[in-house]
Amino acid sequence: MALTIESLENAKDSLPKALNEFSAKNTDVYLADARIEVFEGKSAAAIQGNIKGATEDWGLSTGIRCFAKKDNVIAGGFIGRSMGESELSNIELELEEMLGIAIKRARRNAGWKAKAINDAGFFGKGLRSTELADIEIAVDNWEIPYKKNPRDVSLEEVIKRVEDNSKAIQGTEGIASNTVAMVTGLGRKIFASTEGALIDQKKALTEAFIYVVAQGKAIETFYDTLGSWKGLEVLDGENEFEKNFEEFGKFLAEGTVELSNAPAMKKTENATVILDPWYNALLSHEITGHPNEADRALKKEAAWAGRAWWFSGIDDNKFGEQVASEELTVFSDPTIEGYGNYKYDDEGVKGKRIINIDKGILNEFLNSRETASILGKEPNGGMRATSAEDMPLVRMNNTCFAPGSWKKDEIFEDTKEGYYIVGQKIPSIGETRQNFKITCWKVYEIKNGELGQLYRSGGVTGDSYTVLKSIDAIADDFSIHNIPNCGKGTPMQTMKVGNGGPHIRAKATVSGSHMGE
Amino acid sequence: MIEINELKAAVEEGLKLVEKKKGVKEAEVYASSNHLSTMRICYATNVPSNGLEEPKSQEDFGLSVRVLFDNGMIGFGSVDSDLSSAGIEEAFRKAERNKVMDTDFHSLPSPNGKPKISNYHDKEIMDSDDGRMIDSAWGALNAAFNTLKANDFKKNLNITGELNYLGERMAVVNTNGIDASDESTISLGTLTTIFELDKDVAGMWFDSSPMMKNLDVEKIGSTSVEKALKLIDSKALDSGDYKVVLGRQVVSDLMYSRFAVELDSYDQKSTPYVGKLDTQIWSDKMTVGDDALLKDAIGTKAVTDEGLPTSKTELVKDGKLVNLLSNDYYAKKYKDDKRYNSANGFRFGGGGRNYGSDAGIHATNIVVEAGDYNDEDLVKEVKDGIYIGRIWYSYPVNGQASSDFTSTIRGDSYIIKNGEIDKGLIPNTFRINDNLDRIFNGVIGLSKEKLATIAWAEEAVVVTPEMAVESIRLDRIAKGLY
């Protein structure tokens, strides 16, 4: 029997019941919450026009967080599980067992933390009993509307569409290889807590991935996705590229073939660059989105994901200071369309639009209940986990550069010499996000406001503050490009987020081929 | 975790059911069970912290069926948390529904030998004693505190990282005679200590072993602090081409980033090495292989997830690219080249051997062969340059088909002056903008001692010596901060 989003209906009773019984039995519980999530969908992948695999399946997972007090100190314990049908039919027993494991971990952890606070002298002062900021407890249902139900397409149709698109791309002159994949389905997540929250959220997902390898004078590779929390209408053109699945494949294939015959970009310092919204998705993501995540700023991700250059400590940070041009405002908004769209985060906090950078001034981080408590802020609903078995982290939602007042054409007309940076490619960012190198799909030379020579192997690099401060023109156009695979956490979770903005003009170094071709 | 005998029984019973089904030409039944415990450590003096941020675990078990049908179509289906005959029936239904005509698929694997190792896992990790793991994490942190106290260091700092303990079991059978099972365990830990002074200082240490008892958590804590302490009084340098010693983590990071030698990458032209098999790609001082049989290494496996015995595969011999990693699917696709050995077909997917996905091509333990230098002699050889001990976010920014990469120097790095380690190098002040093949063509020498290193989100390891190279291109960054 296949599980569907309807199969979770009983869990809406089971989760609160299990949590209430658990809370009644264990008086040392500060807070426990449970998430259960199902996704039912169809997918297929093809390489070089040859279908490689297809699935019509579902996945179910559950996660528990428990914060418990021991020796007057609160600490957490967590557990996640992938599940099958039999566990769902016995979900209360499963939850009871998982809550038992989580509280055991929380108690042992709290005991050690209490000992360190008392015994570690100077170093004990860095530890704190966990506190979560108060929130309005929600009981709510929410879903994103969609037009074409993913259930209405057969697996055979999915296979055919993927294979046909891959064949068409492979038939493009100059294409050496391609990979095409897509997924479409329905997801549902239920959250409940010992505080009484019960939140039921549903979304459709349709996403397509295309990777092309072009062989011209050089080999050039490129990939991107189009996707949305919608139904099959995404593949008909209701996406950030305003292209259907097949047009998107043709666009990437022909553009990359053209690029493979273009000369390699040579590193050019102190250049005027006009960055397109597609490129700005990755730029806003890497140098403003991540360092605005409060867990990163509070050093929780320092080992692998890194820190935030504008926050050293509670009393040593750049809040209220200029960190970018006064032309630039950066916001995070889970209430608008994009992969960062949700009503409640995975702590049951209602998401809201916040201004991270207000006219160049550092203003507010995305936060969790714990980091909000530490920073003395209102929780703004930034905690998300990739699946219910993962533990939530602070994640950007739709974090974007806000539109400005220039017309796009005016920016070009006003640019005598420079480079037009088109499309996002691959990022490498400094540990505190203080420096970046993000490559792009295409670089065009600009002369007297007109596009000229096309270059491959280009990108933009610079110190974040210097580049953000140099922004002198922001267009009134705006689009969000979805990023499906943002990595963070241990074990690494890949999250879907929305980023973007308008056309922006700045000063930076344009990077080129490292071999100086 | 599910016991190995339960997995074996499930796949054996499952195959009996599936092979009788109408239209089945060949069939494979696979089952696995995984348990990953992660102790995420986040401590800071200048912001409130939890010490042990997350004691947590993830677990799964299930089975899958792969079927070649009489009409040449291949199908894959899996079920979660179910090893019963009903689960097999459901997985088969999915395989039948999901079947496609993949013209590159030839046949399921056939036996080609016996596993060369057995019984190399750690029962302690398999039994996943929560209490012991939580104690280990606080043990690592307390060792760091004690080292700081011993050195009377009481300034702004943070200590972050994690301990991971992974137990994985699998069993697989097929109608061609494959009948294999495996139990493997991984313990690995790493901590990074950052002193947030007027100039940042960062020290990192790590350890890994298949055995929990061999993971020296206290040394991880104390050494990360000691390494940071050595770097106080660091300085920055100007942009330029520098003669360098690459520490083991750096060699490892570069290998993860750009050494794409899987046959599927080759097939899809997503590697810099397309067309370079049997050609000289690097200095003749470089010999690199994949060794799944390496003793006491966390990438070690007895059998692949296709049920074939693992082996050691030489990839680069004296600088020449001599082989690629493969699974059974691609070895058969390229069957005219007999060197592809099907020894790397794994279902790694983060957190164990994943019944829910087909076998891709994955490295196990990548081994860079040692040279004849002592570590300090490499520094003498460089004379004036830089020792780079840790790099960060190395990515192929100019695309998968290029050996170009960029990364930043994160910490554990020093200036080399007159053949001696001199002052530390301030972390996050240099970006490397270079090309892996250019760097590895300029190898001066390799050290005698190889050590296993780890990387974020990687279950394999790179076992490598330190390496001196003629030059690396470094660009000065973060001038506004330092």
Q: What is the per-residue pLDDT across B225-236, written as a single tens digit (0 to 9) for each? A: 999 999 998 999
**Strand, coil or helix: A185:** strand
Report chain A's mean pLDDT, rounded to a whole number. 97
pLDDT band at residue A361 using 50, 70 and 90 as cut-offs: very high
Query: Are residues B478 and A430, on separate chains, in Cβ contact within 8 Å?
Result: yes
Q: What is the pLDDT of residue A516?
A: 67
Residue A193 has pLDDT above 80, yes or no: yes
B8 within 8 A of B180, measured Cβ to Cβ? no
B99 within 8 A of B164, measured Cβ to Cβ? no
Give the start-end residues of each E strand in B175-287. 179-196, 200-209, 234-235, 240-246
Structure tokens at B444: 């001066």
Q: What mean pLDDT comes out for the span B17-35? A: 97
Structure tokens at A456: 């491959």
Query: Are residues B55 and A105, on separate chains, in Cβ contact within 8 Å?
Result: yes
Nearest-angstrom CA–CA distance, A315 and A364? 15
Q: What is the pLDDT of residue A479?
A: 96
Residue B470 has pLDDT above 80, yes or no: yes
Q: What is the pLDDT of residue B457?
A: 65
Report chain B's mean pLDDT, rounded to a whole number. 95
Q: What mean pLDDT comes out for the span A9-33? A: 96
ipTM of this predicted complex? 0.95
B422 within 8 A of B416, measured Cβ to Cβ? yes
Whether the CB of A492 is below 8 Å from some CB of chain B: the reply is: yes
Residue B157 has pLDDT above 70, yes or no: yes
- Which residues of chain A have a CB within 8 Å of the CB of B43? 123, 126-127
Nearest-angstrom CA–CA distance, A412 and B123? 66
Tell me the nearest-neighbour CA distance from A437 into chain B, angstroms.
8
| Beta-carbon contacts below 8 Å between A and B | 309
Whether the CB of A364 is below 8 Å from some CB of chain B: the reply is: no
**Residue B259, CA distances (Å) to B60, B208, B251, B355, B405 in order:** 31, 22, 11, 27, 11
Q: Virtual CA dihedral for A147, A150, A151, A157, nearest 10 degrees? A: 120
| Bridge partners, residue A236, by sequence | none
Domains and CATH numbers, chain A: 5-260 (3.30.2290.10), 268-511 (no CATH)
Best of B56, B159, B407 to substitute, by most chain A Cβ atoms within 10 angstroms, is B56
- Which residues of chain A have a CB within 8 Å of the CB of B102? 50-53
Whether the CB of B254 is below 8 Å from some CB of chain A: the reply is: no
Determine phi and psi for A161, rounding to 5 degrees: -65, -40
- Which residues of chain A have a CB within 8 Å of the CB of B161? 303
Interface of A with B in 421-460 (CB under 8 A): 425-432, 434-435, 437-439, 457, 459
Return the top range by mean pLDDT from A9-13, A24-28, B295-299: A24-28
Q: What mean pLDDT comes out for the span B291-307? A: 96
Query: Are residues A82 and B395, on separate chains, in Cβ contact within 8 Å?
Result: no
- Which residues of chain A have a CB within 8 Å of the CB of B267? 47, 177
Tell me the nearest-neighbour CA distance from B478 into chain A, angstroms.
6
B124 within 8 A of B213, measured Cβ to Cβ? yes
Residue B458 has pLDDT above 80, yes or no: no
Residue A265 has pLDDT above 80, yes or no: yes
Q: What is the identity of the amino acid at B346?
A: F
- Listing DSSP states for B314-354 in one string gives EEEETTEE---B--HHHHHHTTTSTT---TTEE-B-SSSB-
What percentage of chain A exceeds 70 in pLDDT? 99
Tokens 């800071």 locate to B44
Whether the CB of B209 is below 8 Å from some CB of chain A: the reply is: no
Structure tokens at A30: 């500060």
Beta strand A50-70 with A73-83 is antiparallel
CA angle B35, B39, B42 (to 5 degrees): 155
Structure tokens at B161: 């990282």
Q: What is the pLDDT of residue A517?
A: 58
**3-class secondary structure for A224-255?**
EEEEECCCHHHHHCCCCCCCCHHHHHHHHHHH
Best of B53, B186, B197, B482 to substitute, by most chain A Cβ atoms within 10 angstroms, is B53
Q: What mean pLDDT comes out for the span B365-374? A: 96
Tens-digit pLDDT profile for residues A52-88: 999 999 999 999 999 999 999 999 999 999 999 999 9
Best of A35, A48, A55 to substitute, by most chain B Cβ atoms within 10 angstroms, is A55
Q: Is the dihedral of CA A424, A430, A431, A433 positive or negative?
A: negative
Residue B456 has pLDDT above 70, yes or no: no
Query: Are residues B161 and A126, on separate chains, in Cβ contact within 8 Å?
Result: no
B92 within 8 A of B290, measured Cβ to Cβ? no
Whether the CB of A314 is below 8 Å from some CB of chain B: the reply is: yes
Q: What is the pLDDT of residue B478?
A: 83
Which stretches within A414-509 are classed as H helix?
A: 464-469
- A164-168, A414-418, B342-346, B399-403: which has the minimum mean pLDDT? B399-403
- Listing DSSP states for A326-370 in one string gives TT--EEE-TTSSSTT--SB-TTSPBP--EEEEETTEE---B--HH
Q: How many CB atoms lie within 10 A of CB B119?
A: 6
Q: What is the pLDDT of residue B257?
A: 84
Query: Are residues B80 and A304, on separate chains, in Cβ contact within 8 Å?
Result: no
- Smallest Cβ distance to B433: which of A390, A430, A514? A514
- The candidate with the shortest Cα–Cα distance to B108, out of B62, B81, B152, B76, is B76
Q: What is the pLDDT of residue A412?
A: 98
What percentage of chain A exceeds 90 in pLDDT? 98
Q: What mean pLDDT comes out for the span A469-481? A: 97
- Which residues of chain B have a CB within 8 Å of the CB of A421? none
Please tell me the total number of residues recorded for chain A in this structure.
517
- Smallest Cβ distance to B161: which of A56, A303, A307? A303
Query: Are residues B52 and A426, on separate chains, in Cβ contact within 8 Å?
Result: no
Residue A17 has pLDDT above 80, yes or no: yes
Q: What is the pLDDT of residue A214?
A: 98
Find all residues with CB under 8 Å of A439, minimum gap 6, and list them: A425, A426, A427, A457, A458, A459, A511, B397, B398
Nearest-angstrom CA–CA distance, A37 and A12? 11
Residue B459 has pLDDT above 70, yes or no: no
Tell me the nearest-neighbour CA distance from B372 into chain A, angstroms.
30
Domains and CATH numbers, chain B: 4-230 (3.30.2290.10), 235-476 (no CATH)
Tokens 């297809």 locate to A54
Structure tokens at A496: 């879907």
Q: What is the pTM of this model?
A: 0.96
- The candidate with the shortest Cα–Cα distance to B407, out of B439, B383, B447, is B439
Q: What is the pLDDT of residue A1?
A: 67
Q: What is the pLDDT of residue B349?
A: 78
Whether the CB of A465 is below 8 Å from some CB of chain B: the reply is: yes
Query: Are residues B154 and A122, on separate chains, in Cβ contact within 8 Å?
Result: yes
- The candidate with the shortest Cα–Cα distance to A293, out of A400, A393, A430, A373, is A393
